[in-house]
Chains A and B, each alone.
Chain A
């Protein structure tokens, strides 16, 4: 069928079963928006392109599907970049379409021209500049395939305006393969079952489950593996939800703000099975001292991650779900049993001795940790919780107790302040039956505060739990601990009245200043099934503990 480039975009999105697009139109994108106008595809107008990219990202993380966003050329494209970089660092499948000046004007410094593919080359899995409308259907097909397959990531398609208006034959390929791209390489069973030999010899094994376990939908297989073997599970920030934290073999999160017992377990273990994680510096602490007694087994779909930062005893390239499936089948077939009860005893003692804690008797403002705990209780640890970045992110990670995959959304790799609010929009629209709570600091919140309008206009029932300490809290914490309390420009004095602000947008809001009011207000907010902001006035100088100072080994924790 003959279509214009713009119509092809819309038609292709339908073929890809896209439910929703996040974006903002602009001069170089008008033809696509015109084609969109005539279609019944759902589009959410965000108030900033960064919001559109994060919303597409939040949608993708919550659903496992590819998120889609639109922006115009020039500033539209550059505004997307933070969102694309965020998605790239955390391996989130997003396809972004940007308008571009007509091909005849490319390279002439035309109005709103920017080299979108050049700028996004290091922060996308791949990108395309479409020069001929006849290539467009294939390119869109490839973009979705690339974004969603293998180690996922964002893909950008830059669409010059004349390509959008040009006509061509639309034939959408059913299948596609890309030479040299093997997204799901075969897994060698012989190599994989070596893990069981190592496990037979081990006395103190642990698993570190990362974001890859969630991406590969391997949580069930991981649970089965743990049931069969009794190997305790630690998760990374990105792996939260891949294994239920309510289970006794869960040790919670490791790393800079991980639990003491998780960090001790890594420092003591003799076998470390790392699945779908990449040994980020926030996870390992001083890398030379990381898991000093352990043989490290590293399972990852991305060959380049194996051996990148730590020496591995056994590296397995492959999809986590496949690998775990092979292991589970082998254990069941051969009836292999394991006994790590004395190790469990050690861990139990550590857990009892060093729990995550905070002082609820402290009456100086609301306790942020308590807020997160109450959210966990009220939502039965099954809501989608979005951490922003900084202290609120860490409290959301430490105290919620995640039980399901795709319920903890956080900008782990890039650490993007302002991620949470727009990501919550995407998550709620992708998973309307889930309660969605954005646990946000007042610093992060203000970085994409304009999206309150998007939430209000579209009546998206998100609970915004604002942890308001009038500081860029995490930086202030570092200044307190490592810079002699020289609070250089971390005070957010001059914050607006967030309750009035929310109300100005037409969003219900309440202020909470006492621990006693936390539960009832959160309950009201959740049950309202409307957008709801709670301004929690928390203790200003509350710190996130425990903490491994930057560059220290994991078992060297303060607090």
Chain B
């Protein structure tokens, strides 16, 4: 199973390394991790996509909750959350035809062209991981110079904030 977990943590020095360290030393797999400050600068929100069986994922949530810097952990299911990822993709441009085609595909994906040169285009694509993957896959036909991805971030749907969400763990699969 691959699941998305939202974690609200105190913005203490070393907090990211505490969280990441927990995953390493207990042998949990991280597919992606993204962190950024919240509406209140005293807190950081971390989104982790973790892989494992049900017992491992349960453990991940409980071990995270045990960390003193962790305020709240929630599971963000596909149906009840908005999940997005951003990627910057630098694509090789070998001909004028390629350029047009790349821009056309980018438009279809509502990707922004953020840099353009004689032999390259950098596109910014946002969306669910599957969409970002699909865009990258199409672009690989032209040749990809490099990619930077943010990892997934997610918010629950509806009016509640992470602090207000209930703590019950409900895995999707």
Please list the residues of chain A having a beta carbon within 8 angstroms of any beta carbon in chain B: 117-118, 121-122, 125-126, 129, 146, 178-181, 302-304, 306-308
Contact = CB atoms under 8 A, between A and B. Distances in A.
A129 B70 CA distance: 18
A391 to B, nearest CB: 30
Contacts of A179: 10, 71
Given A121-B14, A121-B17, A178 B58 contact: no
Contacts of B17: 118, 121
A125 B21 contact: no
Interface in B42-67: 55, 58-59, 62-63, 65-66
Nearest to A126: B68
Contacts, number: 40
B157 interface: no
B71 A121 contact: no
B18 interface: yes
B15 to A, nearest CB: 11
Contact of A303 (B18, B65, B71): B65
Chain B interface residue number, banded: 10 to 19
Nearest to A179: B71
B13 interface: yes
B66 A302 contact: yes
Nearest to B58: A307
B14 A180 contact: no
Contacts of A178: 68
Given A121-B17, A126-B68, A304-B66, 15 more contacts: A122-B21, A146-B68, A178-B68, A180-B68, A180-B70, A180-B72, A302-B66, A303-B62, A304-B62, A304-B63, A306-B62, A307-B55, A307-B58, A307-B59, A308-B62
B25 interface: yes
Nearest to A127: B14
B21 A121 contact: yes
Nearest to B63: A304
B59 A304 contact: yes
A204 to B, nearest CB: 27
Contacts of B25: 122
Nearest to A178: B68
Q: Is the interface of B mostly helix, strand, loop or mixed?
A: helix
A302 B65 CA distance: 10
- In the A-B complex, the 5 residue pairs with the closest CB atoms: A304-B62, A180-B71, A126-B68, A122-B25, A304-B63
Contacts of A146: 68
A410 to B, nearest CB: 24
14 contacts: A118-B14, A121-B14, A121-B18, A122-B21, A178-B68, A179-B71, A180-B10, A180-B68, A180-B72, A303-B62, A303-B65, A303-B66, A307-B58, A308-B62
Contacts of B62: 303-304, 306, 308
A306 B62 CA distance: 9
Contacts of A122: 21, 25
Contacts of B63: 304
Nearest to A150: B66
* Residue of A179, A181, A304 with most partner-chain B CB within 10 A: A304
Contacts of A129: 13-14
A118 to B, nearest CB: 7
Contacts of A302: 66
Contacts of B66: 302-304
Nearest to A305: B62
A308 B63 CA distance: 10
Nearest to A142: B68
Contacts of A306: 62
A126 B13 CA distance: 13
Contacts of A117: 14
Contacts of B55: 307-308
A145 B128 CA distance: 43
A308 B53 CA distance: 12
Contacts of B14: 117-118, 121, 129
